[in-house]
Amino acid sequence: MSQENSVNDIEGESFPEIREAVRRLCAGFPGSYWQALDRERAYPTAFVQALTEAGFLSVLIPEEYGGSGLGLRAATAILEEVHRSGCNGGACHAQMYTMGTVLKHGSAAQKEKYLPQVASGALRLQAFGVTEPTSGTDTTRIRTFARRDGDDYVINGQKIWISRAEHSDLMVLLVRTTAREDCAKSSDGISVLLVDMRAAAGNGLTIRPIRTMLNHATTELFFDDLRVPAENLIGEEGKGFRYILSGMNAERILIASECIGDGRFFIDRASAYAKERNVFGRAIGENQGIQFPIARAHVQLSAAALMVDRAAAMYEAEQPCGTEANMAKMLASEASWYAADMCVQTHGGFGFAEEYDIERKFRETRLYQVAPISTNLILSHVATHALGLPKSF
């Protein structure tokens, strides 16, 4: 890497052509577009379609399957710019990391069948069925069970906090195929199935929307003797837990990049407002009480961005990066939340007004203190995996 490229990376300008293309696309979807969707809890179909047609959602799919075959760092640049522009990638970001399960562990037939259609937008692979009401983020304790019956698996169980289920053609579903108590290791006996949502809905799958404080198309899923062809099993039966770990690392890194974009959005808005807003005959940005929080937000976000880039580089190099991915997500989400709070404070009462489009982003970035993994669980991971501290029970 040249010295110039290294400096560009540090300043957040890696992949400048991609970033500029994303900014141009997002300019067609201003705050008013997102505010209208937010009021109606509607899905941003036009935005997702535009990203698909531009090839941004297929950035990680190899060229042989119709994608651009770029690495995770390119994907982080895309999502960062989406969020810095005031848009939201939550409606479609899962397509980037969910398809990795098929790409890395699917059969040749599955890759040929699904990946070109995902790349073209003919199929949406955006639903990731893992979390359950009784297990939370303790994935080894999931209870949704798939019983083999001839050429099918018969699925019974429940999932919760599954986003985009109503807007996805396919779902990567984590199930137990062997009871936990019958396994030598708690992570054994877990399998991954690819579910055709179009065939499943109403035929053993019930989707129930969950209304939340932000427009995230979140649902609860109920499986009642849902039949899925055995050919939809990804990889080996009972080995699915390790298949999804890589996808989870990518998920955390991509979410972290969105937080970086959110943070830059808030800093941009706060800086501009502090220069323009005049009180007592001068710009409020002349006051250190306004300057310092904005500067601190910039410092924290810049540091977090470096951690995100490091985690993404390790992922691309196929190095173990679970701890780095988690740290990147934690640092970025905390930096974006600080920036969000600072931005509202800088705007005062106007920060709560829909017109300024700060409150929507404020609500959206708060999610990442909790999802896809909470800050406390990340700290637990670092304590036990990086520092060798005993596990707490």
| One domain, residues 328 and 316 | yes
CATH number of domain containing 328: 1.20.140.10
What is the per-residue pLDDT across 228-242, written as a single tens digit (0 to 9) for each? Answer: 999 999 999 999 999
Q: What is the pLDDT of residue 107?
A: 96
Q: Please determine, for residue 94, whether its predicted confidence score (pLDDT) is greater than 90.
A: no
In a domain, 210, yes or no: yes
Does 178 fall in a domain?
yes
Say if residue 291 is exposed, middle or buried (CB neighbours under 10 Å; 0-12, 13-18, 19+): middle
Question: What mean pLDDT do residues 292-309 have?
Answer: 98
What integer pLDDT is reported at residue 393 of this predicted model?
Answer: 61
User: Is 391 inside any structural domain?
Assistant: no
111 and 207 both lie in a single domain: no
Average pLDDT over residues 217-236: 97
Question: Which residue range forms the structural domain that includes residue 131?
Answer: 125-239
Which of the listed residues 215, 239, 263 is the one where a domain comes to its end?
A: 239
**Is residue 13's pLDDT more than 80?**
no
- Which domain-ending residue is among 239, 259, 289? 239
Mean pLDDT of 135-157: 94
Give yes or no for residue 9 having a pLDDT over 80.
no
Examine residue 393 and state whether it is found in any structural domain, yes or no: no
Q: Are 323 and 386 in contact (CB under 8 A)?
A: yes
Of the listed ranges 32-41, 82-91, 127-136, 198-207, the one predicted with least confidence: 127-136
143 and 54 within one domain? no
Q: Is 232 within the bounds of a domain?
A: yes
The number of folded domains in the chain is 3
User: Residue 108 pLDDT > 70, yes or no?
Assistant: yes
Higher-scoring residue by pLDDT: 94, 25: 25
pLDDT for res 146: 98
**What are the pLDDT digits (tens) for 240-254?**
999 988 789 999 999
Query: Which residues does residue 227 pair with via DSSP β-bridges, in sequence order?
Result: 154
Strand-pair category, 170-176 with 125-129: parallel
pLDDT score for 186: 93
Residues 249 and 379 occupy one common structural domain: yes
Report if residue 392 sits inside a domain. no
Asked, for residue 253, whether it belongs to a domain, the answer is yes
Average pLDDT over residues 305-311: 97
Given a cut of 80, is residue 96 above it in pLDDT? yes
For residues 248 and 379, membership in a common domain is answered with yes
d(CA 389, CA 272): 45
Is 264 inside a domain boundary? yes
Q: What is the pLDDT of residue 223?
A: 98
pLDDT (tens digit per residue) in 63-88: 999 999 999 999 999 999 999 999 99
**For 130, phi and psi rounded to 5 degrees?**
-125, -60
Tell me, what CATH number does 180's domain have? 2.40.110.10
Residue 225's CB is within 10 A of a number of other CB atoms, namely 11
Question: Residue range 13-19: average pLDDT?
Answer: 92
pTM as predicted: 0.94
What is the Cα–Cα distance from 87 to 258, expressed in whole angstroms?
10
Note the pLDDT tens digit of each residue in 47-58: 999 999 999 999
Same domain, 248 and 372: yes
Q: 275 and 195 in one domain?
A: no
Looking at the structure, tell me whether residues 302 and 329 fall in a common domain: yes
Asked whether residue 216 falls in the same domain as residue 344, the answer is: no
Residue 389 DSSP code: P
| Listed residues 86, 101, 120: the one ending a domain | 120
Taking the C-alpha atoms of residue 64 and residue 255, their distance in angstroms, rounded to an integer, is 27
Asked if 230 and 248 sit in the same domain, the reply is: no
90 and 149 share a domain?
Answer: no
What Å distances lie between residue 380 and 142, 369, 370, 393, CA to CA?
Answer: 20, 15, 14, 11
Closest to 220 in 3D by CA, of 161, 169, 269: 161
Q: How far apart are CA 91 and CA 47, in angstroms?
A: 9
DSSP letters, 139-164, are GGG---EEEEETTEEEEEEEEEEEET
Structure tokens at 112: 């040929």
The C-alpha atoms of residue 167 and residue 215 are separated, in whole angstroms, by 13
Whether residue 91 is found in the same domain as residue 107: yes
Q: What is the CATH number of the domain that holds 79?
A: 1.10.540.10
